Amino acid sequence: MLLEQEPRLRELRVFDLHLSSWLEELKTGPVQVTPIQGDVTQAHQVAAAVSGAHVVIHTAGLVDVFGRASPETIYKVNVQGTQNVIEACVQTGTRFLVYTSSMEVVGPNVKGQPFYRGNEDTPYEALHKHPYPQSKAQAERLVLQANGRKVQGGLPLVTCALRPTGIYGEGHQIMRDFYLQGLRLGSRLFRAIPASVEHGRVYVGNVAWMHVLVARELEPRAELMGGQVYFCYDKSPYKSYEDFNMEFLGPCGLRLVGTRPLLPYWLLMLLATLNALLQWLLRPLLLYAPLLNPYTLAIANTTFTVSTNKAQRHFGYEPLFSWEDSRTRTILWVQGSTQ
Ligand SMILES: NC(=O)c1ccc[n+]([C@@H]2O[C@H](COP(=O)([O-])OP(=O)(O)OC[C@H]3O[C@@H](n4cnc5c(N)ncnc54)[C@H](O)[C@@H]3O)[C@@H](O)[C@H]2O)c1
Ligand SMILES: CC(C)[C@@H](O)CC[C@@H](C)[C@H]1CC[C@H]2[C@@H]3[C@H](O)C=C4C[C@@H](O)CC[C@]4(C)[C@H]3CC[C@]12C
């Protein structure tokens, strides 16, 4: 999207632990595209990649709520890695840093309190026990605290954090997993979450667009935007996690069985807890990491939606993709993802 939407772009460096093969296809245009294979936990690699950059968009992260990685690894990547990016900007003189934070920095919290169509200023007790939201909250704090630090050359660092809600769209592996699970169950999925639980979702293209806009506007609007957080939002409808997924899985031939959860919450929590116990017991032998665990069940069962226009007010954000377009693109991706 940077290549399509940023006319002043001269070089795009992509620093990642795992470089995707499609990056090679981006090299055909006038802008220099420089893939750099590296680890954000290695400060020297980050500094080398950042050196000379005008803006850094730091979106690398270990997104794990399924117990695949240890809490230490999650911390190392998400917190230490972010600290490395900040120090690299300071040491090499890069003045503008955009960080991909997350709704989970706010909630749902450990008390399962709903966050109903809240905004960046809504009071909410952001208490977390899980390593992932804890790491995102710590990383976001580091980024915002770094705003105003003097970088090499004596000018101030300007930072900003974006908080996407549940991202959907092309490349959403969880959506693909649900689709494959439904196919295995005779083109059916069974409702586990009440339809009344609203979950915020945002299309990946609009998340990317907000990042491009912030990267562009952070310099001219440094006074206003520096040290700020912005929820990523668009016109995606407020629905339960499962009903929202059915917007895409329905047209792909699946149906959601049940107008209310087929199993009571206590039984689902028992099954989730058994999954967590099994994961612990099997860990020395193999990785067992199902979607259902006590944390994911609690998150799925807690309303968390945003209603805000701060990004529009501060830097003129309007979604680049309509709901209809986002939906069509996601359906096409799901349909193509199993071929
Ligand atoms: N998926 C969501 O619903 C969602 C919602 C809100 C925020 N986010 C945030 O968006 C960002 C991108 O997440 P995603 O959902 O696209 O997940 P993803 O796993 O697709 O992307 C994460 C990227 O980070 C890279 N990475 C991981 N460890 C690294 C390391 N040690 N060094 C360098 N690169 C490393 C991965 O290779 C991958 O390309 C993350 O910071 C995540 O916390 C995601
Ligand atoms: C097994 C059922 C109970 C099923 O409905 C569980 C769904 C569960 C896997 C997802 C429900 C909510 C998702 C999270 C939410 O969209 C926001 C997130 C923040 C982001 O930073 C990372 C991803 C995630 C934690 C996302 C993960 C999957 C869910 C927990």
Rounded Cα distance between 193 and 116, Å, is: 17
Q: What is the DSSP letter of 190?
A: E
Pairing type for strands 228-232 and 158-164 reads parallel
Active-site hit among 132, 168, 295, 317: 132
The Cα 212–Cα 4 span in angstroms is 10
Cα(86)–Cα(132) distance, integer angstroms: 20
Among 58, 59, 106, 211, say which to mutate for ligand 1: greatest number of ligand atoms within 8 Å of CB.
59
Amino acid identity at 68: R
In a domain, 142, yes or no: yes
Which residue from 15, 58, 59, 56 is spatially nearest to 33, judged by alpha carbons? 15
Q: For residues 116 and 101, give the distance between their C-alpha atoms in angstroms, rounded to a whole number.
A: 20
CATH of the domain at 132: 3.40.50.720
Res 317: pLDDT: 98
Question: Which atom number of ligand 1 is nearest to the Cα of residue 104?
Answer: 6
Rounded to the nearest angstrom, the distance between the alpha carbon of 169 and the centre of ligand 2 is 14
Q: How far apart are CA 240 and CA 294, in angstroms?
A: 18
Please say whether the beta carbons of 268 and 276 come within 8 A. no
Q: Based on the structure, what is the number of domains in the chain?
A: 1
Which residue owns the Cα nearest ligand 2 atom 28? 296
C-alpha span between 108 and 131 (Å, rounded): 14
On whether the CB atoms of residues 14 and 33 are closer than 8 A, the answer is yes
pLDDT at 75: 98
Beta carbons of 192 and 262 less than 8 angstroms apart: yes
Tens of pLDDT, residue by residue, the chain (339 residues):
999 999 999 999 999 999 999 898 998 889 999 999 999 999 999 999 999 999 999 999 999 999 999 999 999 999 999 999 999 999 999 999 999 999 999 999 999 999 999 999 999 999 999 999 999 999 999 999 999 999 999 999 999 999 999 999 999 999 999 999 999 999 999 999 999 999 999 999 999 999 999 999 999 999 999 999 999 999 999 999 999 999 999 999 999 999 999 999 999 999 999 999 999 999 999 999 999 999 999 999 999 999 999 999 999 999 999 999 999 999 999 999 877
Q: Does residue 33 lie in a domain region?
A: no
Whether the ipTM is more than 0.85: the answer is yes
The answer, yes or no, to whether any atom of ligand 2 lies below 6 A from the CB of 104, is yes
Q: Is residue 25 part of a domain?
A: no
Q: How far apart are CA 210 and CA 232, in angstroms?
A: 7
For the question of residue 241 being annotated catalytic, the response is no
Q: Is residue 86 part of a domain?
A: yes
Ligand 2 within 6 A of CB of 50? no
Residue 80 included in any domain = yes
- Distance in Å, CA 63 to ligand 1 centroid: 6
The alpha carbon of 133 and the centre of ligand 2 are apart by a number of angstroms equal to 12
Q: What is the DSSP string of 245-287?
A: HHHHHTTTT-EEE-SS-SS-HHHHHHHHHHHHHHHHHHTTT--
Q: Report if residue 2 sits inside a domain.
A: no
3 state SS for 106-118: CCCCCCCCCEEEE
Contacts of 335 (CB under 8 A, 6+ apart): 252
> Is position 229 within any domain?
yes
Ligand nearest to the CA of 82: 1
Q: Tell me the residue range of the domain where 120 lies.
A: 38-337
Residue 167 within a domain? yes
The pair of structure tokens assigned to 218 is 């952070």
